[in-house]
Each structure stands twice: as C-alpha cells, then as structure tokens.
Amino acid sequence: MTPAIAIFVKTPGLSPIKTRLGSSVGRRIAEEWHRRAAACVAISACATNLPVYWAVAEADGMQHPLWQGLPRIGQGEGGLGARMARMHTEIVQRHGAGILVGADLPQIETRHLEAAATWLDSPDARHVLGPARDGGFWLFGANRALPTSTWESVTYSRDDTARRFIDAVGASSWEFLQIMTDLDRASDLQAVLDELDSLRKPSAEQRALARWIETQIEPDA
C-alpha cells in the first residue's frame, strides 16, 4: 500500500473561484490566489514522493495548462460530499489509501502529508483529519473507502462540519493534525500570512505567496 494524495482544484474561467474572497478583493485576485495556493500545495505534496493527483472539478478543465504537471482525475458531478466520496474511493482502489486536501491551504507542509501517510500505512482501518479554524477540515485520509452516504450526510462549510463528519464516520482509529486556517474571506489573509511566515522550511512558492499576500492586506489606518 502506498497512500496517494488528491488535491481538489477548480479551473479559473470555468468555475467560480473563492466567491467569498472575490466579493471583497475581486475575481481576478481570488483566481490568482487559487493558482498560487494550488502550486504551493502541489510542491509540498510532490516532495513526499507519494503519488499525487489533481482532482479537477470540471470535465473541460482536465486539459487546462494549470493542471498538466500532475496526473488528473475528474471530480465528476454532484455536491461536494459526492465528489469527495468518488475521488477518495478511486484513490483507495488504486493505491490502498487516499488523502484528500484542498488547494487553498498553501501553508500545508510536506511533514503534514507524510504524517498522514505514515498513520494510514497499517493493515487496520485508520482515518486522519486536519481540522480548520472555521470548523471544517483541510485534509482527510483513510485506508478504507467510506460509503457515499457518509460523505453526503454532512453539511459542508459550517462551523461544525469537522465534528459532524467525524461523528458520521464513526471510527475509533483517528489521527488529528494541527489546526490551520482555510482562507475563505479577505479577513483570513493575515492569519494565513502568519502561518506561512511560521513554516519551518518554506518552499520558494510559499515565500513568494507570503509576499504576495502582504500586497493584498490593507495597512491599518
């Protein structure tokens, strides 16, 4: 068994990107954020030497130049729960364990992903979750596929999403990673910047993104 990583992405021009962020800073900045953040996550994921995939939201996005650097799997149709269920099941079937991450946490480090993979490398059923400060989660991994009904029983983008998801899975063998900030609004920029600046060994892409974020934060009056 070699756990694999799937990075969930949307394609600028084909899907709305970070609409809550875009409502404050504009669509162009929101799309630029997504591109830069996804690149950071990919660098950290590839440094694990595990198989890494782009999980692309749109059928037309599968051939987009942004996603040509890694193998691609289409998320398919349906809500977020159905798409995560489909993606995770396919990764588990291919590799024995699957780790799903969002593209909007550029502060993810290789060590986080390696810790998740190490935990899942077991003959016993295991689960791992990275909780987000807003109550959601930025990573989920398991070495068993979950029923689609489990994924779809949870309402996402709520302040209790992670707790409800853990309850829905109902397993006892969990590993929890550190809490991090998932950027949804302009007010999250400073927290993400602080987390990027605290990284042990930031990549060149993470350092560049931190400096870019600084240009987007309005100085205090």
- pLDDT by residue (tens digit) across 32-75? 999 999 999 999 999 999 999 999 999 999 999 999 999 999 99
Residue 139, Cα to own-chain centre: how many angstroms? 6
Residue 171: its pLDDT value, please?
A: 75
pLDDT 10s digits, 66-90: 999 999 999 999 999 999 999 999 9
DSSP 3-state of 109: coil
pLDDT average, residue stretch 89-115 = 97
Counting runs of H as helices and runs of E as strands, what totals does the chain give?
A: 8, 7
**Which helix (H) or strand (E) covers residue 1, if one does?**
none
The pairs formed by 63-69 with CB atoms below 8 angstroms and a separation of 24 or more are 64/11, 64/14, 66/9, 66/11, 66/12, 66/35, 66/38, 67/9, 67/11, 69/42
Residue 1: its pLDDT value, please?
A: 75
Task: Provide, rounded to the nearest whole percent, the portion of the chain with pLDDT above 90.
Answer: 90
Domains and CATH numbers, the chain: 4-214 (3.90.550.10)
User: Please, which residues have CB within 8 angstroms of residue 189's CB and are 6 or more apart in sequence?
Assistant: 183, 213, 216, 217
Q: Quick check: 172 pLDDT over 70? A: yes
How confident is residue 219, by pLDDT bands cut at 50, 70 and 90?
low
Q: Quick check: 220 pLDDT over 60? A: no
Contact (CB, 8 A) for 157 and 43:
no
Residue 7 phi, psi dihedral angles, 5° rounding: -105, 120
Residue 127 bridge partners (DSSP): 142, 174
Nearest Cα neighbor of 20 from 159, 183, 203 is 183
Average pLDDT, the chain: 94
Residue 221: its pLDDT value, please?
A: 36
User: Please, which residues have CB within 8 angstroms of residue 211's CB and are 6 or more apart in sequence?
Assistant: none
Residue 59: its pLDDT value, please?
A: 96
Give the separation between CA 115 and CA 42, rounded to whole angstroms: 16
